[in-house]
């Protein structure tokens, strides 16, 4: 198992887009299993995969299956 962290203190540098694209490449091109963890308060990664996600209705950690 490998861990890849995408970090930068500055906003707007493409961290979320990089994570989404890297995960897509690893899954589709290299047939790897990928877990994405959204630690950002804005939850852009979560909202990309679950646009209807409402943090007021659900608890902290959620497990999302394939659609």
Phi, psi (degrees; rounded to nearest 5) at 5:
-110, 135
Contact status, residue 45 vs residue 19, Cβ threshold 8 Å: yes
Interatomic CA distance for residues 16 and 13, integer angstroms: 9
> Looking at residue 39, what DSSP letter applies?
-
Residue 28 tokens read as 């589709």
In this prediction the pTM is 0.74
**∠ CA 19-25-63 to the nearest 5 degrees?**
55
pLDDT band at 55 (very low <50, low <70, confident <90, very high): confident
List pLDDT tens digits, range 10-34.
989 999 999 999 999 999 999 999 9
pLDDT class for 67, splitting at 50, 70, 90? very low
């Amino acid at each position: 198992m490998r861990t890849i962290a995408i970090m930068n203190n500055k906003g707007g540098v493409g961290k979320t887009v990089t994570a989404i694209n890297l995960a897509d490449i690893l899954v589709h091109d290299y047939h790897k299993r990928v877990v994405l963890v959204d630690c950002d308060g804005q939850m852009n990664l979560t909202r990309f995969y679950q646009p209807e996600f409402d943090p007021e209705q659900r608890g902290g950690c959620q497990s999302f299956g394939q659609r």
